[in-house]
Structure 1
Amino acid sequence: MKRALLIAGTGSEASPEVLRVVEAVRRRTDYDVVKAIRLEEGALAEGIASAAAGGATQVVVVPYVLALDTGGRDGLRRGVEEARRRHPGVEVAPAEPLGADERVADLVCDRARVAEMKMASAGAVLTVDGMVRNPLGLTYADLRAAPEQIEDVSARAPGRKGAGLRVETVLRKADPEPSAGQITFHSADGGFEASVSIQEARERGILIYRLGEDPLPEGLGGPVRLVIPGTEDVCNNVKQVVRVEVKA
């Protein structure tokens, strides 16, 4: 028995976001076919017909929307009924939309947190001052626009998540004075700071500031986290860095 799962949404079934959902569902289930279709009466009938032509004898249709109004439910019902009429040997089961599920609420909260972080990151998230010729107030956009991005920090610092920049990239722009010898990294709450030699920071220091294209969450040490790979010294792993102070 061949089984098909059709994910019926209102946008383009070929959009990158929908295709990622299809692939994620495919990994989590044992359906023979997982495919995205448009949530329209004609598209539903065509999608079910395509699954039947491929040998499916059971087809589940999941509306990839939060809710369906009366017109949407009627369209889904008619599309399923038409498919059943055309393919009497195929069982077709329409599922409920995503609806008022706690997991949807969790996702809404997560999206809201990311939006808040982006609003906060419109201002300076990292300052560089002290013995520098060019003091900096860097926004998230400034960090993202900097050259030499490290897209996968875990390749250099196993166990760490995110993307970032070498400390050297930031210091090059700040232009430390020749007599500078130390750097102090200050945390957001003012309760922790750590100092390392400017040479070590320039050679190995990494500032993690994002996950993909989103700001690094506070729970992972955001807005900026310092790591210096190759050492277990707590001073070389500073969370919530907001200030880089260059000293003698």
Structure 2
Amino acid sequence: MTESILLRITGEVGQPKELTFADLTAIDPQFQIADVSSQAGGRKGMAVTLAGLLNVAAVKSSANYLTLHAAADNFHASIPLDGVREKAFLIYALDGAPLAVKAGGPCRFFVPDHLACRSAEIDECANVKFVDTLEFTVGKGHDNRPHDDAAHAALHANEKSHEH
């Protein structure tokens, strides 16, 4: 049986990727975070840094936005790459196994110390559950985060949609 693809990396990359759990665990240890609780209190799991994924896919210098796609709930967030390049990570494992959907799998994107929610493009809504594709683009990509107070409040009230 073929191992499932957990993460696709597309767009402005030298090497588009379809990564399995084994592929993610095989990324160079310098890019692995064995226990994310050390960087994100209250969180659990193993992660790979965004810097490591940039390296694996040979992201082109022309890419200036990262679009996070979560097909499971049709959520998309496009954020400036420079704002997250060095600090963001992707949680992909919990207790040695692939991250389950009930825990936000296949992957969960997290930016420690994000800015206060909705104060900038990189806010609490950039912490996305169910991520299955990272798309690197020139300019902002597809983004369906709420843009008015009522829609934003509704999103925060609906824990199934994403991180909050």
Number of the residue aligned with 2:137: 247
- What TM-score, normalized to structure 2? 0.74
Q: Distance in 2 between matches of 1:197 and 1:128?
A: 16
Number of the residue aligned with 1:185: 68
Matched, 1:234 2:124: yes
Amino acid at match of 2:137: K
Question: Structure 2 unaligned runs (5+)?
Answer: 118-122, 139-164
Q: Distance in 1 between matches of 2:83 and 2:52?
A: 14
What is the deviation of 1:228?
0.2
Q: Distance in 1 between matches of 2:65 and 2:98?
A: 27
Of 183, 203, 206, 2:89 maps to: 206
Matched, 1:139 2:20: yes
Larger Rg: 1
What is the deviation of 1:202?
1.5
Q: Please, what is the CA RMSD of the aligned residues?
A: 1.6
1:85-124 equivalence runs, <5 A: 122-124=3-5
Instruction: Using CA pairs under 8 Å that are at least 6 residues apart, name the structure with larger relative contact order, 1 or 2.
Output: 2
Secondary structure of 1:177's match? coil
Q: Distance in 2 between matches of 1:173 and 1:162?
A: 21
What is the deviation of 1:190?
5.4
Percent of aligned positions that are identical: 40
1:19-58 equivalence runs, <5 A: none
- What TM-score, normalized to structure 1? 0.50
Number of the residue aligned with 1:154: 37
CA contact (8 A) 1:124 1:140 kept: yes
Question: Structure 1 unaligned runs (5+)?
Answer: 1-118
What is the deviation of 1:188?
2.5
CA contact (8 A) 1:195 1:235 kept: no
Secondary structure of 1:204's match? coil
Of 107, 113, 124, 1:224 maps to: 107
Aligned length, in residue pairs: 129
